[in-house]
Amino acid sequence: MSRKEFTQISRVARELEQCMKCGFCAYVCPVYQEEKTEASLARGKNELVKLLVSGELEINRELADRLYKCTGCMTCTTNCPARAEIPRIVVAARADIAGEMGMRFPYGLIYRQVLAKRGVMGLALAVASRLQGVLMPRTSGTLRHMPDFVSAFGKGRRIPSVARKFLRRQVPEVTPAAGRRTLRVGYFSGCMNEFVSPEIGRRTIGLLARRGVEVVFPRAQGCCGAAVFLGAGDFETARKMADRNAAAFEGLDYVVTDCATCACALTEYAHFLADTPEREEAYARFSGKVRHVASFLVDVLGAADFRAPALLDGKKVTWHDPCHLNRHLGVREQPRRILESLDGVRYVEMPEADRCCGMGGQFNLLHYELSMKIAKRKSESIEAADADIVVTACPGCQLQLADSASRLDKPQRVMSLMDVIE
Amino acid sequence: MLKPEIIHRLQEIVGKDDVLSAREDLATYSYDGTTNWTGTPEVVVLPRTTEQISEIMKLATRHHIAVTPRGAGTNISGGSVPTRGGIVLCTVKMNRVLDINKTNLTAMVEPGVVLQDFNNMLAKENLFYPPDPQSFLGCTMGGTIAENSGGPLCVKYGVTKHYVLGLEVVLPSGYVMKVGGSTVKNRTGYDLVPLFTGSEGTLGVITRITLRLIPRPAARRTLMAIFDDMTLAGAVVSSILGAGIVPAKIEFVDNFVIRRIEEKMKIGLPVDAKTMLLIDVDGSEAAVESEAERILELLKEGGARIARRAKDETEAALYWKARSAGFAAIYSAARTVIAEDVTVPRDRLSEYIQRLDEISRKSGFPIVLIGHAGDGNIHPSVSTDSTDKEDLERLEDTLTAIFEMALELGGTLSGEHGIGLEKKRLLSRALDPMAIDAMRKIKAIFDPDNIMNPDKIWENA
């Protein structure tokens, strides 16, 4: 077969040579731990991409299936003696695959037509929320990242209710700081908080304002694009999203989000999506201002004192590290410091707190049973910690933990970090 | 190409999900931990029971299909690379620890158990299985038996073969043979256990393993020493052993590795130092204390610029982490890196180090030294960025020179990695021809059709 141009893979070509095939990733890869096949392992995926580049394999469904079987948790990289960033190679390969094959129905349609356009998405979800009670039992506290919302229908998942009133209709464009204004930040809501749990967004905005921060909620912001470029490899659509988000937050001191996945995706714009010097510059400037709220509160504001709402009084809480927050952004200690500072709440560390929950966005949709197997091990960790509440800071993890808790009939409640501090 | 009925029969034996035949799957079973050996199988099976393996072997024998057994494929000899297509038989799904016996001090495991998982289970029982190949995060027990693996702890505790009491092996005919038992003493006829231990998958498939365990040592100390002269460091190792002290580990890293570690980890090593020795002593609290003292004296007498003990577990862990990052540092430093595995008698270490330096200077290839000084197994890694054919041929010649030098010093071709494909061109020079002949005849007894991991160990096999 003729040598093809692999635009995105060629950008990480050096990285491809990093893997020395030692196979140590086997011990930590959550997917391999369940599957036990080489193609499920980082080392195997690296080899597949190398063979694609050398022309020994071609882009087809079989190859795509294997490269999509990665949650992107980055545990392999963290433990790799050569620090090979194979999950990034996988994302690049997905982009080249998507470029050639297009995206699998219905994802392509959803990403291009729904996600990229917030108005359409709002409308679709509004309709969905009306139909939800009719089509399936209304439950609470489960489902991922809106991007995958529509396609989740009909797969037997517990899906949370879509909010009656979206966040942008609940909060003003500018929330003034209480007292003297120290900073002026933009709040990036993410799809989950915009459409499903606007109360979290309200809490975050309120908390920031009470701490002397003026919070702007730019109406022009859209989806972060995580599912679109990190998940599906549709870089073209994601660039439109990135352009819009970067423009929407111009002139603000920081961009703060309470979604780990959004925070990660927003900081990855320059790495994956910059195809021109202008974009490189704009994305880098934008990404440099992005902070997850846990890091913003602790590192930027230097906050050390937090209060828990009354319903947490006397409760034992544990923390689940979202991969996007911990390994991707290096935010590990901050949420723990926040939880440990809560009066009347006991913090316990669970074993393997940083192990991937198995969500991985689209991964959960494509490989639901496998995703649930990975979640089961997380559930055992939670059980070992014997906590009343599992706290995390990623709507994706939150959905996964709640879904697996309900499947396995576990008593633990799953809450967002922003639910437990005031 | 295997006939569809073979694939179909394999699916009947192990179930559809545990037979892989898509090109995209086969490609991922074409390599091991080496850089350049590759070969693609025609089918991969992942059996879950001994009976299934027996059926697979019967099928392979009936149809003369080559079988390459493997675990996690972390070996660095080419030994688990399929050279003739055929079947890759991967045992990773047989991963139960069947028994840990605290009073007989034994354990029984299936071949797919990962060494680190096994260690974790033993630690809870305060038990210890010393063989510690540095691939412990990936390697499976079956693989470590087949490769007779060793690691840093082997100075004091020996290698895998010193711990294998009994094996269940499926022969190419499909016959399930048991050798050895579960007693420490066993003097019943020829001992076939060490024959299969280190057989590199050429005689049969290991399906069950009985291992000897020891109690976990109560105390441990880590010592660190810096030398400005590599040969002095080599001589100190001999003098420590000569003083009647056998530390658990004596590891050696050279200046190149020290600099790379310091670049990445910044733990405060002097980047001008020629050698760092890391030494662990373990045993009872009183014994480790006096041994640590004595070793520190010997290190200073032997010319160490710095010799000190790690002040706590954290500092010790940091040193050992640096040591384990050493290989990666070497591998990521050049396009082609070949880690040699020659081993020399421990009293010839400083001579060995000196002669390696001469070989490096003469050939112009950098030779980096890192490894197990305590057992004479310091791996010289030869590297080049060149892709020029002539340079690569000269590289081969350099490796041969290293090997010949080690042999001259009374050493051996491979300490712990095995022969596989990587070293077979040199085997005839390392062994007595009669010994090779005997080995080939043994191979023919168990594997008359030569289907069991063919092409490994011997040239023209």
pLDDT tens-digit series, residues B222-260:
999 999 999 999 999 999 999 999 999 999 999 999 998
B119 reaches A (C-beta below 8 A): no
What pLDDT, in 10s, does the model give residues A384-414? 999 999 999 999 999 999 989 988 888 889 9
8 Å CB contact between B151 and B145: no
Are B320 and B251 within one domain? yes
Residue B410 is classified by DSSP as T
Across the range B354-359, mean pLDDT stands at: 96
Q: Which of B25, B137, B327 sits opposite A37 (nearest CB)?
A: B25
Q: What is the set of domains in chain A, with CATH numbers?
A: 7-101 (1.10.1060.10), 310-420 (3.40.50)
Give helix B50-63 / helix B4-14 axis angle, nearest 10°: 160
B126 reaches A (C-beta below 8 A): no
pLDDT score recorded for residue B35: 78
Does residue B333 carry a pLDDT above 90? no
pLDDT score recorded for residue A120: 66
Range of the domain at B423: 334-447
B163 reaches A (C-beta below 8 A): no
Q: Which of A97-106, A358-367, B368-377 has the lowest mean pLDDT?
A: A97-106
Average pLDDT, chain B: 94
Residue B25's closest chain A neighbor by CA?
A39
Are B116 and B208 within one domain? yes
Higher pLDDT, B60 or A120: B60
ipTM score assigned to the predicted complex: 0.92
The distance of B427 to chain A (nearest Cα, Å) reads 25
Name every chain B residue with its beta carbon within 8 A of the beta carbon of A37.
20, 25, 28, 46
- What is the band of B385 on the pLDDT scale with cuts at 50, 70, 90? confident
- The residues with which B412 forms a beta bridge, in sequence order, are B343
pLDDT score recorded for residue A104: 65
Q: Which of B24, B31, B137 sits opposite A21 (nearest CB)?
A: B31
Are B9 and B24 within one domain? yes
Residue A56's closest chain B neighbor by CA?
B27
Contact B33 A18 (CB under 8 A): no
Q: Which of B185, B215, B245 is the last residue of a domain?
A: B215
Across the range B75-99, mean pLDDT stands at: 97
Q: Rounded to whole angstroms, how far apart are CA atoms B33 and A20?
A: 7
How many domains would you assign to chain B?
Answer: 4
From the CB of residue B433, how many other CB atoms can be counted at a distance below 10 Å?
8
Are B348 and B430 within one domain? yes
The two three-digit tokens of residue A360, written as one number: 């991985």
Name every chain B residue with its beta carbon within 8 A of the beta carbon of A55.
none
Q: Which of A153-167, A360-374, B266-280, B434-448 has the lowest mean pLDDT?
A: A153-167
Contact A81 B74 (CB under 8 A): no
Contact B32 A51 (CB under 8 A): no
A26 reaches B (C-beta below 8 A): yes
- The residues with which B382 forms a beta bridge, in sequence order, are B338, B367
Look at residue B457 and tell me if it is in a domain.
no
The distance of B440 to chain A (nearest Cα, Å) reads 31
Q: Which of B26, B60, B90 is the last residue of a domain?
A: B90
Across the range A219-223, mean pLDDT stands at: 94
> CA-CA-CA-CA torsion for A27, A356, A188, A132, nearest 10 degrees?
140
Look at residue B455 and tell me if it is in a domain.
no
> What are the Cα distances from residue B355, in Å, to B264, B341, B351, B352, B380?
30, 16, 6, 5, 11
pLDDT score recorded for residue A135: 41
Residue A43's closest chain B neighbor by CA?
B28
Look at residue B291 and tell me if it is in a domain.
yes
Look at residue B211 and tell me if it is in a domain.
yes
What is the separation, in whole angstroms, between the first and last Cα of chain A?
61
B17 reaches A (C-beta below 8 A): no
A13 reaches B (C-beta below 8 A): no
pLDDT score recorded for residue A1: 40
Strand order in the sheet with A254-257: A174-175, A213-216, A183-188, A254-257, A290-292
- What is the band of B318 on the pLDDT scale with cuts at 50, 70, 90? confident
- The residues with which B210 forms a beta bridge, in sequence order, are B108, B166
Q: Rounded to whole angstroms, how far apart are CA atoms A277 and A285?
A: 12
What is the separation, in whole angstroms, between the first and last Cα of chain B?
22
Across the range A13-17, mean pLDDT stands at: 87
The two three-digit tokens of residue A215, written as one number: 């919070």
Name every chain A residue with its beta carbon within 8 A of the beta carbon of B31.
21, 47
Contact A21 B92 (CB under 8 A): no
Pairing of strands A183-188, A213-216: parallel
Interface A-B: count of C-beta contacts within 8 A:
83
Q: Which of B70, B90, B110 is the last residue of a domain?
A: B90
The distance of B120 to chain A (nearest Cα, Å) reads 13
Does residue A203 carry a pLDDT above 80? yes
DSSP, collapsed to helix, strand or coil, labels residue B142 as helix
Q: Rounded to whole angstroms, how far apart are CA atoms B258 and B85?
A: 42
What pLDDT, in 10s, does the model give residues B160-174? 999 999 999 999 999
Are B115 and B210 within one domain? yes
Look at residue B456 and tell me if it is in a domain.
no
pLDDT score recorded for residue A200: 95
What pLDDT, in 10s, does the model give residues B145-196? 999 999 999 999 999 999 999 999 999 999 999 999 999 999 999 999 999 9
Q: Rounded to whole angstroms, how far apart are CA atoms B286 and B151?
A: 26
Are B174 and B271 within one domain? no
What pLDDT, in 10s, does the model give residues A171-194? 999 999 998 988 999 999 999 999
What pLDDT, in 10s, does the model give residues A85-123? 999 999 999 999 988 887 665 666 666 666 666 666 666
pLDDT score recorded for residue A2: 42
B22 reaches A (C-beta below 8 A): yes
Look at residue B58 and tell me if it is in a domain.
yes
Across the range A197-210, mean pLDDT stands at: 95
The two three-digit tokens of residue B107, written as one number: 């354990």
Are B32 and B121 within one domain? no
Are B362 and B314 within one domain? no
CATH code for position B427: 3.30.70.2740
Name every chain A residue with its beta carbon within 8 A of the beta carbon of B15.
none
pLDDT score recorded for residue A144: 37
Are B168 and B178 within one domain? yes
Output the CA torsion sign for A341, A342, A348, A350: negative
Residue A58's closest chain B neighbor by CA?
B24
Average pLDDT, chain A: 88
Name every chain A residue with its beta carbon within 8 A of the beta carbon of B114.
26-27
Are B310 and B355 within one domain? no
- What is the band of B388 on the pLDDT scale with cuts at 50, 70, 90? confident
Look at residue B49 and tell me if it is in a domain.
yes
Are B230 and B210 within one domain? no
- The residues with which B214 forms a beta bridge, in sequence order, are B128
Look at residue B454 and tell me if it is in a domain.
no
CATH code for position B252: 3.30.70.2190
CATH code for position B56: 3.30.43.10
Across the range B29-43, mean pLDDT stands at: 93
B290 reaches A (C-beta below 8 A): no
pLDDT score recorded for residue A99: 87
Phi, psi of A346 (to 5 degrees): -100, 125
What pLDDT, in 10s, does the model give residues A248-281? 999 999 999 999 999 999 999 999 999 999 999 9
Does residue B29 carry a pLDDT above 70? yes
- Specify the long-range contacts of residues A228-231, CB closer than 8 Å, at least 24 apart: A228/A111, A228/A115, A228/A116, A228/A147, A229/A91, A229/A95, A229/A265, A229/A268, A229/A272, A229/A273, A230/A72, A230/A91, A230/A264, A230/A265, A230/A268, A230/A272, A230/A361, A231/A72, A231/A94, A231/A147, A231/A360, A231/A361, A231/A362, A231/A363
Site of tokens 């195997």: A44
Q: Rounded to whole angstroms, how far apart are CA atoms A171 and A197?
A: 13
> CA-CA-CA-CA torsion for A395, A399, A400, A401, nearest 10 degrees?
100
Name every chain A residue with its beta carbon within 8 A of the beta carbon of B33.
20-23
Are B283 and B363 within one domain? no
B324 reaches A (C-beta below 8 A): yes
B27 reaches A (C-beta below 8 A): yes
CATH code for position B162: 3.30.465.10
Does residue A151 carry a pLDDT above 50? no
